[in-house]
Amino acid sequence: MKKSLLTAVFAVASLGGAYAQSNGDVTTNADKYKVETNRFFDNWFFDINGGAQVYFGSKDAKKSFGKRLAPALDVSLGKWFTPGMALRFGYMGLQGKGAAINEKEAFTTGGSFVKNGVKYYDQKWDMMNLHAEVLFNLSNMFCGYNPDRIYSFIPYVGFAWLHAWESPKNNEFGASLGLINKFRVSPALDINIEARGTLLKSGFAGDKGNHGKDGMAALTVGLTYKFKQRNFNRGTVISTGISESEMRRIQNQLRDAQAYNNQLKDEISALRNRKPEVVYKEVAADDSRVIFFPIDKSDLTAKDLVTVKLMAESIKATDKNYTVQGYADQATGSKAYNLRLSEARANNVRDALIKEGVSASKLKAVGMGGVESVFGKENQLSRVVIIK
pLDDT digits (tens, 9 = 90+) for 173-197: 999 999 999 999 999 999 999 999 9
Q: What DSSP state is assigned to residue 72?
A: E
Task: Please tell me whether residues 365 and 224 are part of one structural domain.
Answer: no
One domain for residues 254 and 154 = no
Same domain, 183 and 81: yes
Residue that is last in its domain, among 209, 235, 261: 235
Q: How far is CA 71 from CA 89, 128, 200, 338, in A?
A: 20, 12, 20, 87
- List Cβ neighbours of 16 (8 Å cut-off, separation of 6 or more): none
In which band, very low, low, confident or very high, does the pLDDT at 16 lie, cut at 50, 70 and 90? very low
Mark whether 215 and 262 lie in a shared domain.
no
Query: In this structure, are 245 and 359 located in the same domain?
Result: yes
CA-CA distances (angstroms) from residue 151 to 191, 279, 366? Answer: 10, 89, 74
The range of the structural domain enclosing residue 193 comes to 31-235
Range of weakest confidence among 23-37, 149-163, 177-191: 23-37
Query: Last residue of a domain, which of 188, 205, 235?
Result: 235
* Nearest C-alpha neighbor of 149 from the set 187, 117, 180, 118: 187
How many domains are contained in the chain? 2
Instruction: Name the helix (H) or strand (E) containing 62.
Output: none
Top-confidence residue, 26 or 377? 377
What size, in residues, is the chain? 388
Same domain, 62 and 20: no
Strands 322-329 and 363-371, by their bridges, are: parallel
Amino acid 31: pLDDT: 66
Could you tell me how far CA 142 lies from the centroid of its own chain? 20
DSSP letter at 335?
H
In the predicted structure, residue 153 carries a pLDDT above the cut 90: yes
Over residues 55-69, mean pLDDT: 86
Asked whether residue 50 falls in the same domain as residue 133, the answer is yes
Residue 163 has pLDDT above 90, yes or no: yes
Alpha carbon distance 300, 292 (integer Å):
9
Q: What is the mean pLDDT of residues 220-224?
A: 97
Between 241 and 188, the more confident residue is 188
Quick check: 48 pLDDT over 80?
yes
Per-residue model confidence as pLDDT tens digits over 196-212: 999 988 778 776 656 67
Across the chain, how many H-helices and E-strands are there? 6, 15
Same domain, 61 and 100: yes
Is 304 found in the same domain as 181?
no
Has residue 23 got a pLDDT over 70? no
Residue 357 banded pLDDT, cuts 50, 70, 90 = very high
pLDDT, tens digit (0-9, with 9 covering 90-100), for 83-141: 999 999 999 989 989 888 888 888 888 888 888 888 989 889 899 999 999 999 999 99
pLDDT higher at 16 or 162: 162
- Phi, psi values for residue 342, rounded to 5°: -65, -35
| Predicted local distance difference test score (pLDDT) of residue 9 | 41
- The identity of residue 381, as a single letter, is L
CATH of the domain at 277: 3.30.1330.60
Contacts of 74 (CB under 8 A, 6+ apart): 47, 48, 49, 50, 51, 90, 91, 92, 194, 196, 218, 220, 222
CB 206 within 8 A of CB 107: yes
Q: Name the more confident of 214 and 195.
A: 195
In DSSP terms, 52 is beta-bridged to: 71, 219
* Listed range (240-244, 282-286, 365-369) with the worst mean pLDDT: 282-286
Same domain assignment for residues 184 and 224? yes
Of 235, 255, 289, the one marking the end of a domain is: 235
My answer on whether 55 and 151 are in the same domain is: yes
CB-side neighbour CA atoms (13 Å) of 318 = 14
pLDDT at 238 over 60: no
The winner for highest mean pLDDT among 31-45, 51-65, 86-100 is: 86-100
Q: Given this model, what pLDDT does residue 22 score?
A: 41
* Judgement on whether residues 173 and 65 belong to the same structural domain of the protein: yes
**CATH code, domain carrying 74:** 2.40.160.20
- Conformation bin of residue 243: beta by default, left when phi > 0, alpha when psi is -120 to 50: beta
Label residue 271 left, alpha or beta by phi (over 0 means left) and psi (-120 to 50 means alpha): alpha
Beta strands in 101-143 (DSSP E): 108-115, 118-136
